Amino acid sequence: MPTEQETLTAAAKAVIDYDIEKAEDVARSGLDSGVNPVTMLEKGFIAGITEVGQRFDRGEIYLPELILAADAMKAAVAICESKIPKEDLKVKKKVVMGTVAGDIHDIGKSIVCSFLSANGFEVYDLGREIPTETFVEKVREVDADVVGASALLTFTMDGQKQLVESLKEAGLRERVKVIVGGAPVNQDWADNIGADGFAENAAAAVSLVKKLTGVN
């Protein structure tokens, strides 16, 4: 039977290798051998997805590998979370995500959602071409901690500005952080519209959301 450290190493490697079946096998065998599910997630699978994000940032891997790694991570998380005692479950921070109205691009946004879920956030993916009022309604409904709006086309970026303004009008702006992203978006734009931050990729989005919500 493998030691706990060997299990944690195998967990990270399964994600780094984009191996969904292996990730599931390691999660199950680790639980069967008595490895704490929280430890396995934090020091095994999350360590793996963090390494994948860093490799993507360095240009060592590309979008298809990133998606596969996120899928392996999600499969393992589903198995581990089912075995975490209620008293050990941390209250998850809630994130609402969507692509703004008029924009049909959602691959990047979907990857961000996968990475956030893999890192323990409760994610509500609204999809693409989402009207501002739908963002606002969902933020109110779930009492979101963060709302993220993606825009891949220059002429749809105004939807991000409208979101910030609409949250103010609805009296929600003070209690929710706003992040923006997308190919034409940058930090200057985020600052100009009053957003709380900008992320250029999935790994950066996770780091930003963690910072904004105080998650270690």
Task: Output the tens digit of pLDDT for each of the chain's 216 residues.
Answer: 889 999 999 999 999 999 999 999 999 999 999 999 889 988 999 889 888 878 887 889 987 888 888 889 888 988 988 887 766 556 689 999 999 999 988 878 887 887 788 777 999 999 999 999 999 999 999 999 999 999 999 999 999 999 999 999 999 999 999 999 998 999 999 999 999 999 988 778 989 999 999 987
Q: What per-residue confidence (pLDDT) applies to 90?
A: 65
- Degrees to nearest 5, angle at CA 145 with 166 and 39: 160
Strand partners, 94: 122
Q: Which domains does the chain have, with CATH numbers?
A: 4-88 (1.10.1240.10), 94-213 (3.40.50.280)
pTM reported for the whole predicted model = 0.70
Q: How far is CA 128 from CA 35, 118, 195, in A?
A: 39, 21, 20
